[in-house]
Amino acid sequence: MLLEVEKVYKSYQLGRNTIPVLQGVDLVVKKGEFVSIMGTSGSGKSTLLHILGGLDTPDRGSYRLNKKDMLSLSDDERSWIRGHWLGFVFQTFDLLPEFDLVENVSLPFLYNSSDPETMRKQVENAIERVGLAHRRRHRPFELSGGEMQRVAIARALAVNPKLILADEPTGNLDSRSSRHILELFQELHRSGTAIILVSHDEKVAAVSERTLHMIDGYLQ
Partner 1 sequence: MIRQGLTFVITAYRSLLIHKLRSLLSVLGIVCGVMAVMVMISTGEGAKEEVLSRIERLGLKNIYVSAKFLSQEQQKQVQRKKSYGLSLFDVDYLASLSPMITQVGAVQKVALTPVGTGIDITPNILKCTPNYSELLGLPLRSGRFITVRDSLEKRQVCVIGAVLSGRLGREGRVGGLIRIDDLLYTIVGVLKKDSREPAKSAKVTNQNFNDTIFLPLNIPHNLTKFGSSIAQYSELSSIVLEVDGREHVESAARLIHRAMEYNHQGVLDYDVIVPLELLDQALAAQKTFNLVLSVIAAVSLLVGGIGIMNIMLATVTERRREIGIRRAVGATRRDIAYQFLAESFLLTMCGGILGVASGFASVFVIETLAGWPIEITVLSMTVPFVLACVTGVFFGYYPAVQAAKMDPIKALRTV
Identify the residue among 129, 150, 155, 162 touching partner 1 (CB under 8 A).
Answer: 155
| CA distances (Å), origin 206, targets 28, 38, 50, 183, 200 | 19, 11, 23, 11, 12
| Sole window of 22-30, 37-45, 91-99, 181-189 interacting with partner 1 (rule: CB under 8 A) | 91-99
The minimum distance between CB 156 and partner 1, in angstroms, equals: 8
CB 196 within 8 A of CB 165: yes
Does position 83 interact with partner 1 (CB under 8 A)? The reply is yes
Does position 55 interact with partner 1 (CB under 8 A)? The reply is yes
- Three-state SS for 26-73 is EEEECCCCEEEEECCCCCCHHHHHHHHCCCCCCCEEEEEECCEEHHHC
Does position 9 interact with partner 1 (CB under 8 A)? The reply is no
CB 23 within 8 A of CB 9: yes
Identify the residue among 14, 16, 76, 220 touching partner 1 (CB under 8 A).
Answer: 76
Does position 99 interact with partner 1 (CB under 8 A)? The reply is yes
Answer left, alpha or beta for residue 174, where phi above 0 means left and psi between -120 and 50 means alpha: beta
CB 5 within 8 A of CB 61: yes
Near partner 1 in 129-148, by CB under 8 A? none
Does position 90 interact with partner 1 (CB under 8 A)? The reply is yes
Does position 34 interact with partner 1 (CB under 8 A)? The reply is no
The minimum distance between CB 216 and partner 1, in angstroms, equals: 21
Measured from the CB atom, the residue of 155 and 189 that comes closer to partner 1 is: 155
CB 82 within 8 A of CB 162: no
Q: Tell me, what amino acid is at 108? A: P
Chain residues that interact with partner 1, rule: CB under 8 A: 50, 53, 55-56, 75-76, 79-80, 82-84, 88, 90, 92, 94, 96, 98-99, 107-108, 110-112, 116, 155, 159
